[in-house]
Chain A
């Protein structure tokens, strides 16, 4: 029972990271209509910004998290202007190859700039343990979950209550109609990229002290994020969050109770099943309002 609960908690923490990575992916698709293969690299670059702030400039962890989110948000604006906007009216092949190219460019650029060797971020939170009844969890891992929860709450308030959020939803529902009622769709696209990129950076900085920072860290993460997004329904914010937790928990329970051989097999089996049985995603139908 204790092992089951620990595996469940591990799954929720891992799921938080998947959710953060998938949120940006699903938002950019929902509003810009672009499948962003470079989302994993935004996560990787976010982790590197965090690494330099924390390890070299000795910035406290939470402040570094915030700065990295802003830096990468601005980077997202550049990506939107340089890469996404010219691709927006092109065919699907152009979009996919364009963002794939961006992903390869950013990964190799990072290898050149930062070197191939992995880096480690040290934070005081990894040494603090929180007792939750019979088992303990490090503050760092708990922080991953807490920050994810905060980000999700802030994001949903922003989307539901603010004018910009409403405009985003309008763009997602019907781009032409949104343009007719006077919404500046380029501004909304830029806002989306800022948020999507900042959230990915948050995921990178949060996970970096638990794992290691390396130029290839985005590759493995993006594969899982795609599973999550398809599970939750492309463009569906709520679906991405739930999908993240489902995949995270499924992976940990599989490794814990069946075999670690199957750990990576389960998410992709789920992916194939979803594509065969319910291609619109688990939550595609029930939540008609998508951003």
Chain B
């Protein structure tokens, strides 16, 4: 009895391995999501998965696309590129997904986009910001958020124009010792050097996971910077501003999108970040009607406000919905379908979304608005562009 069960199971298993994945009329539309659901960025990854599940449920409730439901396949990359590549490989070859959405960390996206490019699978990149992702001529990668240089330049434009304090403005840097942190420091510092009346006075680094920042902060304090740009992720930046308060460092803090998050205010303490100026990709106070609807539905479902990562993922799923709808669902092979979908996505023009309209350039990079926000009493207030 036991033997025959094993035999049957083995036959089913082997049959499963050798059968070619033919498309059938009843198959759902398979979409893969890869995010860090454990490890140091688990908080952000969970937010991404929540938004993806919400978008898929909404689309399926409306009757799916051309009568077919979307089925979500999710994988955990733990913020490590090797796991990210393995996850992409599994989704693309074993699960045979139509499109991959994914990664939080740029390092993971940079590693796995080689897999999606090689297998000709449309790869939506809603969150990773490294410039190199859309700078290498890959045909299957599409990003619906601003790159790191775009947000740093936007911040520099704003700071030079509206925040000038005197004729001699001193800028300090305290950045993460990674490609992300170094990129922020280099772009902003080049802009400072080119601007008359502005100069760089301090340039310190820390490693991701560091907790004691006092030594570097004491050094920075001795140079009396008017502005201090913190280029890193929210866990470390929160500890920097708290320890800055301890040594009575008085400066105008500047930070990037990774710190435009309610959790950041909780970790840093809202009194310690009063007046801090950040870039942001998405704000719950946005006047965009699609965003308003998204925020209220997300709140009803998860009893929490969506962050920028949730918004970007949600938008990416609706870009896919629009593109699949336009491409159709009747293809002989998954390869043909993926190719047709890629061509539709590449030609998307001014498609409305929760983060504003999306138009992809020839490199797959969308031209997205970056907001400038200021922290007031633990809340972010949009100060640029006005009226957003």
Residues of chain A having any CB pair with chain B under 8 Å: 2-3, 6-7, 10-11, 14, 111, 115-118, 120, 122, 126, 129, 135-138, 140-141, 207, 210-212, 214, 216-217, 220, 251-252, 254-256, 260-261, 263-264
**Would you call A3 and B219 a contact (CB within 8 A)?**
yes
Cβ-defined partner of B246 (8 Å) among A7, A111, A138:
A138
Q: Which residues of A contact B238 (CB under 8 A)?
A: 120, 212
Main secondary structure of the interface of B (DSSP, over half): helix
Cβ-defined partner of B215 (8 Å) among A10, A135, A137, A220:
A10
Cβ-defined partner of B247 (8 Å) among A6, A115, A117, A263:
A6
**Would you call B266 and A120 a contact (CB within 8 A)?**
yes
Complex CA distance for A217 and B209, rounded to whole angstroms: 9
Complex CA distance for A263 and B235, rounded to whole angstroms: 20
Q: Which residues of A contact B206 (CB under 8 A)?
A: 260
**Would you call B209 and A220 a contact (CB within 8 A)?**
yes
Cβ-defined partner of B211 (8 Å) among A120, A220, A260:
A220
Given contacts A3-B219, A10-B218, A212-B239, contact A260 B267 (CB under 8 A): no
5 residue pairs A–B, Cβ–Cβ below 8 Å: A2-B222, A210-B243, A216-B40, A252-B214, A252-B215
Q: Which residues of A contact B243 (CB under 8 A)?
A: 210
Complex CA distance for A3 and B223, rounded to whole angstroms: 11
**Would you call A264 and B212 a contact (CB within 8 A)?**
no
Cβ-defined partner of A260 (8 Å) among B40, B216, B246, B248:
B216
Closest A-B pairs by Cβ, 8 of them: A255-B215, A211-B211, A116-B42, A138-B246, A252-B215, A10-B214, A117-B43, A3-B222
How far does the Cβ of A153 sit from chain B's closest Cβ, in whole Å? 25
**Would you call B38 and A116 a contact (CB within 8 A)?**
yes
**Closest A residue to B36 using CB positions:** A116
**Would you call A116 and B214 a contact (CB within 8 A)?**
no
Q: For this complex, into which size category does the number of interface residues on chain B fall?
A: 20 to 34
Complex CA distance for A255 and B206, rounded to whole angstroms: 10
**Would you call B43 and A7 a contact (CB within 8 A)?**
no
**Closest B residue to A13 using CB positions:** B214
How far does the Cβ of B174 sit from chain A's closest Cβ, in whole Å? 9
**Closest A residue to B177 using CB positions:** A261
Q: Which residues of B contact A122 (CB under 8 A)?
A: 269
Complex CA distance for A35 and B344, rounded to whole angstroms: 61
Q: Which residues of A contact B235 (CB under 8 A)?
A: 118, 212, 214
Q: Which residues of A contact B164 (CB under 8 A)?
A: none
Q: Which residues of B contact A140 (CB under 8 A)?
A: 246
**Closest A residue to B218 using CB positions:** A6
Q: Which residues of B contact A256 (CB under 8 A)?
A: 215-216, 218-219
Cβ-defined partner of B219 (8 Å) among A126, A138, A141, A255:
A255
**Closest B residue to A252 using CB positions:** B215
**Closest B residue to A253 using CB positions:** B215
Q: Which residues of A contact B159 (CB under 8 A)?
A: none
Given contacts A129-B248, A138-B246, contact A117 B263 (CB under 8 A): yes
**Would you call B42 and A117 a contact (CB within 8 A)?**
yes
Q: Which residues of B contact A116 (CB under 8 A)?
A: 38-40, 42-43
Q: Does B204 lie at the interface of the complex (its beta carbon under 8 Å from any beta carbon of A)?
A: yes
Other A-B contacts than A10-B218, A116-B38, A264-B207, 9 sampled, CB-CB below 8 A, are A6-B218, A116-B42, A116-B43, A210-B212, A214-B235, A251-B215, A256-B215, A260-B204, A260-B205
Given contacts A129-B248, A211-B212, contact A7 B218 (CB under 8 A): yes
Q: Which residues of B contact A264 (CB under 8 A)?
A: 207
Complex CA distance for A149 and B238, rounded to whole angstroms: 29
How far does the Cβ of A148 sit from chain B's closest Cβ, in whole Å? 15
Cβ-defined partner of A263 (8 Å) among B39, B215, B242, B266:
B215
Q: Which residues of B contact A214 (CB under 8 A)?
A: 235
How far does the Cβ of A122 sit from chain B's closest Cβ, in whole Å? 7
How far does the Cβ of B104 sit from chain A's closest Cβ, in whole Å? 13
Complex CA distance for A138 and B272, rounded to whole angstroms: 14
**Closest B residue to A122 using CB positions:** B269
Complex CA distance for A261 and B182, rounded to whole angstroms: 13
Q: Which residues of B contact A136 (CB under 8 A)?
A: 247-248
How far does the Cβ of B248 sit from chain A's closest Cβ, in whole Å? 6
Cβ-defined partner of A3 (8 Å) among B43, B218, B263:
B218
